[in-house]
Amino acid sequence: AQKVTQAQTEISVVEKEDVTLDCVYETRDTTYYLFWYKQPPSGELVFLIRRNSFDEQNEISGRYSWNFQKSTSSFNFTITASQVVDSAVYFCALSEAGGYQKVTFGIGTKLQVIP
């Protein structure tokens, strides 16, 4: 069975601070995909990143960066110099590689960036 754990349910930071959102996953698959999504108050899911299990290179996209460590089954997400617009719920998710590729979501981390 697949499981995604986001231990931080809510985080508050002051604008311009850096913040890291933790994600730990469990799967028996050797090939899988990891995702991060942003869900602003409007509810629509915004895709941020998809990473396959064979690619452990860290990735940076603007103020966003991701640290994938297979050894610890973690896929952490860091926002540098946070902004108020970053306030949202962030979901980490895991998908099987074969079959229908069902996505299992973590419970989400609510990030509040205070001006």
- What distance in Å separates the CA atoms of residue 89 and residue 74, rounded to the nearest whole number? 19
Please count the other Cβ atoms lying within 10 Å of the Cβ belonging to residue 85.
9
95 part of the interface to other proteins, by CB under 8 A? yes
49 part of the interface to other proteins, by CB under 8 A? no
Determine the interface stretch with other proteins among 12-20, 39-47, 56-64, 75-83 (rule: CB under 8 A). 39-47
**Binding residue (CB under 8 A) for other proteins from 5, 11, 24, 33:** 33
Please count the other Cβ atoms lying within 10 Å of the Cβ belonging to residue 81.
12
CB of 114 to other proteins, least distance (A): 20
| Residue among 19 and 108 whose Cβ is closer to other proteins | 108
> What are the C-alpha distances in Å from 81 to residues 13, 20, 27, 57, 65?
10, 11, 33, 22, 12
Determine the interface stretch with other proteins among 19-27, 42-50, 54-62, 77-85 (rule: CB under 8 A). 42-50
Nearest to 90 by CA among 28, 32, 8, 13: 8
5 part of the interface to other proteins, by CB under 8 A? no
Q: CA neighbours within 13 Å on the CB side: how many for 94?
A: 26
Determine the interface stretch with other proteins among 11-19, 21-29, 67-75, 106-114 (rule: CB under 8 A). 106-114
